[in-house]
Amino acid sequence: MPSVASQVRPHVLWLRSEFALSVGLAVAVGSLAGLGAVGLIALIRGFEGLFFSADNKLLGSLGRFSVVLLPALGGLAVGLLVRALAKEVKGRDIPDVMKVVATKGGRMHPRATAVRAVAAALTIGSGGSAGQVGPIAHLGSGLGSALGQWLRLPEPLVKTLVAAGAAGGIAAVFNAPIGGVFFAVEVVLGSFALRSFSLVVLSAVVASVISHAFLGDFPAFVVPSYQLTSGWEVPLYIGLGLVAAPVALLFVLSLYRVEEVFAGLKTPPSWVKPALGGLVAGLLGLAVVPLGLSTLDLLGTGHGGIEKSLQGELTWVVLAALIPLKIVATSATLGSGGAGGVFMPSLFLGAMVGGAYGTVAHNLFPGVTAPSGAYALVGMAAVFAAAARAPITAILILFEMSRSHSMILPLMTGAVIAAIFASRLHRESIFTLQMKREGVDIGQPEGLAAASDILVQDAMTVGFPTVSPEISVPELVARFTRTGHHGFPVVDARGVLVGIVTLLDVQEVVASDRPALTVGDICTKRVIVARPDQSLREMLAQLGDKDVGRIPVVESATGRILGVLRRSDIIRALSRAEAGRGARGNS
């Protein structure tokens, strides 16, 4: 593999040393990500002050009922902002980063990145139920991508800078550099290659230093000193992982279902829809007041509600009630088009699930269990691990956020069990489900990413020999011998596909000692066919694990055969596409 330095464009080759280049890029991206995180946090706080300050005259005459309209106003502002400046902004932050890494060489649009960041600050600051982690990670990735594009770096290096920016953003916002690193390599890159890992680590370190300088060196959450009280608690933490996984799945499916509902609405226009989602969130924010909570204990990032759960201040009834409220509020906010992340909502749900579970467990077994706050902490790791399918990231981030060394074993137990159980319940994570719906499957090998852009008609073989259903089996055997092919499409006089006949069909006839038959008698008539306008990726998904050597390509309306798609055709088309991508990356 060529060195990093050898891949850089001539106008930056004054950095001849690969070590110096890697360090320089990491420091630059980490600095940008750290400053971007500090700036976005300040912007969110500024909007919170604007919307929720005690002397706010905006909707002051409505008293506490103003909270119903504040998220709606924020949603309306987001809709107008996106409509005016970046209509291409849609979907969630982390899936967008993963998609550009998988399909666009890590090249993100700077304007869309900036608009998405401001939209997220508006959404969260006005009380929309969303998290700040995703937007900050997206902003860090966008800054890393912008630097790579400005320096005209090759595609693999731009991807690494995108991941380094995400790691720096998470490290800065959570004061968790190790968790930020593993999030970048486990979720964004999906690779632990040493060169990429080293650059990502250094970026996270630099971003953390900058965050400390501006925001102080404090844990993200104040957690009492909990510990594993007894070995009998391990089965209870396993049980918590099993409970957390269905809650995470409910959150994921609810989020995307609400998104489908809003997308299917013909009216109102798209820029008004975030206001409707904000209105729903506002109503739910008002509903928590009778529970003895403030609106922002549920809405916004929900940081206050998480803190109270970790401190053991809430009853199990209140904790349980907050679970559906948060799911609906977040689904309405993000599904309607509001901007923000799902990281903090996942942690909120985990804290409520774990707190309620721990309260019941502690009441039943007070002598061998820790207080409910310990279970809330583990629940946070478990729900996020189940939703994101990233148990390593969940364990490390919660460990760093809480700085509770004695809870590492419960964190590991709950997160791993939840992630495994969730993968059995549903294949996709909260991040990959959006990508799958958009036709991007990062579970495939990297070389198959190009399959989404190649049509069957561009890869198939035209003029492949066919046989008539009327010819005899001996004549078919002669054709196999003469051509060397192992199968033929069977086509009638009008060119319509009848079936497929292979050497195996002939061998079965010979072995059964049946009388002489025609091809129409022995061919397979239930055949997998392809359409010319299908993508190769769609065709491969249709095949699954079926061992098929050739696929007839037919015209949908008439059934006439247009060509044949063979394994060699697919390999050749993908090789050409990958060679073209490599040439563009080195140009």
What does each C-alpha distance from 463 to 142, 339, 478, 489, 550 come to in angstroms? 48, 52, 20, 11, 14
Q: Indicate where the chain has its CATH 1.10.3080.10 domain(s).
A: 5-215, 233-267+291-437
Residue 170: C-alpha distances to residues 125, 158, 381, 467 (Å): 19, 19, 15, 62
CA dihedral 203, 206, 208, 209 (to 10 degrees): 180
- Phi/psi of residue 44, each to 5°? -60, -45
Beta bridge partners of 490: 467, 499
Q: How far is CA 273 from CA 90, 336, 337, 475, in A?
A: 13, 5, 7, 67
The CATH architecture one would assign to domain 5-215 is Orthogonal Bundle (1.10)
* Topology, domain 233-267+291-437: Clc chloride channel (1.10.3080)
CATH fold group of domain 447-585: CBS-domain (3.10.580)
Cite the DSSP H helix spans in 403-498: 408-425, 432-437, 456-459, 473-483
Question: For the chain, what is the largest distance between any 2 Cα atoms, rounded to a whole number of angstroms?
Answer: 96
Q: pLDDT 10s digit of each residue in the chain, 587 long? A: 344 444 444 444 444 456 677 788 889 999 999 999 999 999 999 988 888 775 555 555 556 677 788 899 999 999 999 888 877 666 677 888 887 887 777 888 888 889 999 999 999 998 899 989 889 999 999 999 999 888 888 877 888 899 899 999 988 887 788 888 888 887 777 666 656 788 889 999 999 999 888 888 777 777 888 888 888 899 999 999 999 999 999 999 999 999 889 888 888 888 899 999 999 999 998 888 888 888 888 998 999 999 999 999 999 999 999 999 999 999 999 999 888 889 999 999 999 999 999 999 999 998 889 999 999 999 999 999 999 988 988 998 888 877 777 888 999 999 999 999 999 998 888 888 877 776 665 555 444 555 656 788 888 888 888 999 999 888 888 888 888 888 899 999 889 999 998 888 887 777 776 666 888 888 888 888 888 888 777 777 666 556 676 789 998 778 899 998 887 788 777 777 766 555 444 44
Tell me the C-alpha distance between 168 and 160, whole Å: 12
Alpha carbons 245 and 424: distance in angstroms, whole number: 10
Ranges of CATH 3.10.580.10 domains, the chain: 447-585
Bridge pairing between strands 487-491 and 497-502? antiparallel
Provide the Cα torsion 305, 311, 221, 406; round to 10°: -140
pLDDT digits (tens, 9 = 90+) for 378-408: 999 999 999 998 898 899 888 887 777 788 8
99, two tokens: 């998609």
Assigned token pair, 120? 């997220």
Question: pLDDT of 107-142, one tens digit each?
Answer: 888 888 899 999 999 999 988 999 898 899 999 999
Residue 535: strand pairing partners: 455
Which of 226, 171, 174, 215 minimizes the C-alpha distance to 33?
171
Q: Which structure tokens are listed for 226?
A: 């909990």
The tokens describing 129, both together, are 């139920």
Residue 324: asked if its preceding bond is cis (omega within 30°), the reply is no
**Considering the entire predicted model, what is its pTM?**
0.73
Question: Cα 233 vs. chain centroid, distance in angstroms?
Answer: 33
- pLDDT, the chain, mean: 83
Q: Find, among 405, 382, 408, 407, the residue nearest to 394 by Cα.
A: 382
Rounded-to-integer distance, Cα 260 and Cα 335, Å: 8
Amino acid at 390: A
* CB distance 563 to 531 below 8 Å: no
Looking at the DSSP bridge assignments, the partners of residue 501 are 488
Residues 6+ apart with CB under 8 A from 499: 469, 489, 490, 520, 523, 524, 525, 526, 527
